[in-house]
């Protein structure tokens, strides 16, 4: 979200008046960060979320997301529409303290994919201070591994328009049939986490 403070002044033959009452207006960022598509697992298919993702889950809420008609899904995070997003009213949505199954976002793929890189941006595509991430992933047999924030690299990147997105990197590639990640801010600052778009990437040594 971008917050603008606006005021108006009136000018007549006596000169400029004082400013009116300040009014704050908030708009959704209509220019989301442009994230790399090279080796992307989940590009849109005919305008719809990729069929390589068979289910999505969240326990916060979805905003402006027409695809999320039933509670608990998170299709608006993989629809390449910057205006639809996930929001959780907490500084820590499983990125710092223990991530339970109801934290963050969970995605199930149509098959196991070898991956170690996930990119995402929040609804502002600006630096809102997301600092920690934790991951749980499941293999095809349903065996899970939990990866704490200390083993995960979370980098801030900027596109050519200087809009910010994040790149989450696992310590090594995994063969994930299902994957969950939770985010947290640094030092309990702020009380909201948003995620507008998530890109998964096939493992590639160049990424």
CA distance readout (Å), 73 to 8, 43, 68, 136, 175: 43, 18, 6, 18, 23
Closest to Ca ion by CB, 96 vs 181, is: 181
Residue of closest CB approach to Ca ion: 84
| Shortest reach from residue 200's CB to Ca ion, in Å | 14
User: Do the beta carbons of residue 193 and residue 156 sit within 8 Å?
Assistant: no
Binding mask 51-80 for Ca ion (x = CB under 5 A): -------------------------x--x-
Of 196, 198, 200, 201, the one binding Ca ion (CB under 5 A) is: 196
Reference 108, options 137, 88, 72; nearest CA is 137
**Should residue 125 be labelled a site residue for Ca ion when binding is judged by CB under 5 A?**
no
Contacts (CB under 5 A) with Ca ion, residues 3-42? none
Closest to Ca ion by CB, 63 vs 108, is: 63
**Should residue 194 be labelled a site residue for Ca ion when binding is judged by CB under 5 A?**
no
- Candidate segments 14-22, 40-48, 130-138, 194-202, binder of Ca ion by CB under 5 A: 194-202
Can you tell me the distance from the alpha carbon of 129 to that of 164, in angstroms, rounded to the nearest whole number? 11
- Candidate segments 20-28, 127-135, 137-145, 190-198, binder of Ca ion by CB under 5 A: 190-198
Closest to Ca ion by CB, 84 vs 180, is: 84
Where do contacts with Ca ion occur on this chain (CB under 5 A)? 76, 79, 81, 84, 196
């Amino acid at each position: 979200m971008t917050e603008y403070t606006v005021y108006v002044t009136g000018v007549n033959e006596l000169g400029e008046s004082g400013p009116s009452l300040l009014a704050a207006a908030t708009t959704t960022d209509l220019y989301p960060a442009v994230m790399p598509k090279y080796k992307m697992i989940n590009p849109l298919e005919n305008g719809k979320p990729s069929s390589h993702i068979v289910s999505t889950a969240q326990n916060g809420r979805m905003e402006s997301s027409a695809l999320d008609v039933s509670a608990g899904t998170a299709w608006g995070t993989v629809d390449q529409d910057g205006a639809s997003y996930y929001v959780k009213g907490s500084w820590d949505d499983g990125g710092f303290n223990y991530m339970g199954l109801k934290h963050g976002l969970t995605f199930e793929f149509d098959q196991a994919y070898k991956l170690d890189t996930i990119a995402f941006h929040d609804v502002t595509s600006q630096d809102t201070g997301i600092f920690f991430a934790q991951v749980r992933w499941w293999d095809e047999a349903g065996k899970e591994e939990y990866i704490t924030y200390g083993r995960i690299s979370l980098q801030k990147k900027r596109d050519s328009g200087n809009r910010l997105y994040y790149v989450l990197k696992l310590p090594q590639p995994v063969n994930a049939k299902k994957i969950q990640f939770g985010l947290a801010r640094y030092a309990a600052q702020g009380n909201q986490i948003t995620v507008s778009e998530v890109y998964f990437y096939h493992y590639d040594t160049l990424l």
